[in-house]
Amino acid sequence: MRSIYTLVSTLVLLGIAAHAQTPAAKSALDKPALEAYLRHVELLPPTLKVNIGDPKPTIFEGFDEVPVEVVTPNGVASLRYYVSKDGKLIVKGTLFDINKNPFQPELNKLKTDLQPSFGQPGAPIVMVVFSDFQCPNCREEAKVLREHVERQYSDKIRVYFKDFPLETLHPWAKAAAMAGRCVFREKPAAFWDFHDWIYEHQPEISGENLKTKVIGWAETKNLDTVKLGQCIDTKATEKEVEREVAEGRALQVSGTPTVFLNGRPLTGAIPWQTLDQIIQRELSYQQTAKDAGEKCCEVSIPSLLPAKK
Amino acid sequence: MPWLIAVLCLMMLSAPAQQRQRTARAGPALSKIAIENYLRRLELWAPQVQIRIDDPQPFIPGLYRLEVHLTAGAASKDVTYYVSADGKTLIRGNAYELNRSPFQKELDALKLQYQPSFGPANAPLTLVVFSDFECPVCREEAQELRAKVRAEFPKDVRVAFFDFPLESIHPWAKPAAIAGRCVYHQNGPAFWDYFDWIYEHQPEIKVDNLKTKVMEWAFGTRLDTAQFSQCLDSRAMASEVDAEVATGRKLGVDSTPTNFLNGRRLVGDVPWPNLSQIFKLELELAKQPGK
């Protein structure tokens, strides 16, 4: 509902004029009929192009899946519907496998190898944070993570950082993300100093002074500033940042901060009191479920022999 | 001999039918406890939330409808899920019938004949507002709707009102709603004077001065104040307000303002530029044949 609503408000704000549509027919397997119905349900202005895909079989005997794309000026929104084989019903929703973690699809998509992290390796909870150094809510969320999560749950939670700069809103966010990755390349442990420093100084940073400020900070941390300056100038880490953004998009991240707590998406800056409750619930689930967390599904017997790889 | 053939034929005809019925009656292979545990985890419902799950109802071949009733203290909410016949897959979302309005459930539930409204009765768009006289966001929305709807959509939009006082956080919201019903029953159009007045004076009203203020207002109108005062004291309208709240709850309303535009739910105070664009878009869509 919320995403539709955001989409609708975006579309509406664009002030797109509407014009008449083709008449609705009777079967949802008829593409124009389905399109007309969906335009009504989703309140899509007629000026936006809607691509209805071909029905594909699903695990339900009575339903086919129909992929739908809405082409907006901000990009293509992918929606998924299930249409009954008799063409009478349309279901919009998410499918869950009752015998698995509800957030298994998200867990499958989250890649945390070689990402900046703090906390306990092998922890029962993994939080993956998609963040933007120029976003004020991310600044709030970062404080919660560093002041509360790290202090209270250092043995139970591992936090990973992912860049998700919203370039259209935040002119220096991507450059800062790339600089952060340069710091991480040079000295992984310094990344969190950079993270804390940049959020702390967020209000004073601009597109013009970003590099000078970063280099100034790096000097105080005894980093190789020549190497760091080169990394920033050659945009050596741009691909990495873009890969993070693409991963976020594939996970339906549309705003920052978005945190995946053992796969569960949590959007916006969550107050510590609420987050703490969610963490406690998840910890108690994991005591029995053991279906998330770091290396949840591998059972290894401690041994003095070197691990076989 | 022919009768034997006839009997055999009948048996052959009826056997698969019986079998079909049996599978339909058997329902999906699911445990309500497992579903409850799964939903608690998925939706993060707090431990104090009581969950009651109805028996799954056949929906279409392969899929069952699952009504879930939630209660926590005075609050309650119904949520619909769908579950596959093998009990392995749960769907969270909405189901629509192509040949009916996507908002048929809302349209059926929202009976407007005893609700205050303004705007033409035959307007192509009806905005149903669930509101609380003590809620500040409702106040903003109310003032905007009163100022803009008649000016900008005089022929196209009717606004109807439902009370949805959030008693647990707004101590005078329900008595104010009752007073509104009293005004409405005495003089339909006067309801909107009351509506404008109470939202305007919302910041000054408290639980202990509500009645005095309301009576002061009534003396300045043509209302029969003796009858009005009695109506307030007798709380004769309380059950009407409760029925309005029940209508809202049935549609999943859990905050104010919540609006339904031709059945489409719009939660929260929608800024006027957005709302007027939505009106325009709906008007275009309403022109489509077959709608």
B267 interaction partners in chain A (CB closer than 8 Å)? 1, 5
Per-residue pLDDT tens digits for B7-38: 433 333 344 443 443 344 456 677 888 899 89
A21 interaction partners in chain B (CB closer than 8 Å)? 285, 288
Q: Is the predicted pLDDT of residue B277 greater than 80, yes or no?
A: yes
The reply to whether ipTM tops 0.85 is: no
Per-residue pLDDT tens digits for B218-271: 999 999 999 999 999 776 799 999 999 999 988 889 899 999 999 999 988 889
Q: Name the amino acid, one letter, at B168.
A: S
Facing residue for A89 by CB, picked from B60, B88, B282: B60
A62 interaction partners in chain B (CB closer than 8 Å)? 60-63
Tell me A17's DSSP state.
P
Query: Cβ separation of A36 and B288 shorter than 8 Å?
Result: yes
A8 interaction partners in chain B (CB closer than 8 Å)? 278
Contacts of A36 (CB under 8 A, 6+ apart): A21, A22, A23, A24, B288
CB B241 within 8 A of CB B178: yes
Facing residue for B99 by CB, picked from A1, A21, A88: A88
CB B177 within 8 A of CB B240: no
Query: Cβ separation of A91 and B82 shorter than 8 Å?
Result: yes
B284 interaction partners in chain A (CB closer than 8 Å)? 18-20, 46
- Determine the distance in angstroms separating the CA of A183 from the nearest CA of chain B, rounded to an integer: 38
pLDDT for residue B27: 63
Residue B177 vs residue B235, higher pLDDT:
B177
- Determine the distance in angstroms separating the CA of B285 from the nearest CA of chain A, rounded to an integer: 7
Long-range contacts of B72-76 (CB under 8 A, 24+ apart): B72/B46, B72/B48, B73/B48, B73/B168, B74/B167, B74/B168, B75/B168, B75/B254, B76/B249
At residue B215, φ and ψ (nearest 5 deg) are: -65, -40
pLDDT for residue A209: 95
Q: Is the predicted pLDDT of residue A9 greater than 60, yes or no?
A: no
Mutate to test the interface with A, among B281, B282, B283, B287 (most CBs of A within 10 A): B281
Q: Is the predicted pLDDT of residue B191 greater than 70, yes or no?
A: yes
pLDDT for residue A272: 94
Facing residue for A41 by CB, picked from B38, B44, B96: B96
A20 interaction partners in chain B (CB closer than 8 Å)? 284, 287-288
Closest-CA residue to B28 (of B76, B102, B84, B77): B84
CB B172 within 8 A of CB B207: yes
Q: Which tokens is B286 given? A: 């309403």
Distance CA A207, CA A175 (A): 8
pLDDT band at B94 (very low <50, low <70, confident <90, very high): confident
Query: Cβ separation of B285 and A8 shorter than 8 Å?
Result: no
Q: Strand order of the sheet with strand B264-267?
A: B117-118, B157-163, B125-131, B258-261, B264-267
Q: Is the predicted pLDDT of residue A280 greater than 90, yes or no?
A: yes
Per-residue pLDDT tens digits for A174-214: 999 999 999 999 999 999 999 999 999 999 999 999 999 99
**Scanning the structure block, which residue is given the tokens 């009695």?**
B230
Query: Cβ separation of B92 and A96 shorter than 8 Å?
Result: yes
Q: What's the pTM value of the predicted model, to 2 decimals?
A: 0.69
Note the helical H segments in B165-271.
173-186, 190-200, 210-219, 225-234, 238-250
- Determine the distance in angstroms separating the CA of B133 from the nearest CA of chain A, rounded to an integer: 25
Note the helical H segments in chain A.
2-13, 31-42, 104-109, 136-144, 150-152, 173-186, 191-200, 210-220, 225-233, 238-250, 272-288
Per-residue pLDDT tens digits for A68-100: 999 988 778 888 898 988 888 898 888 888 888
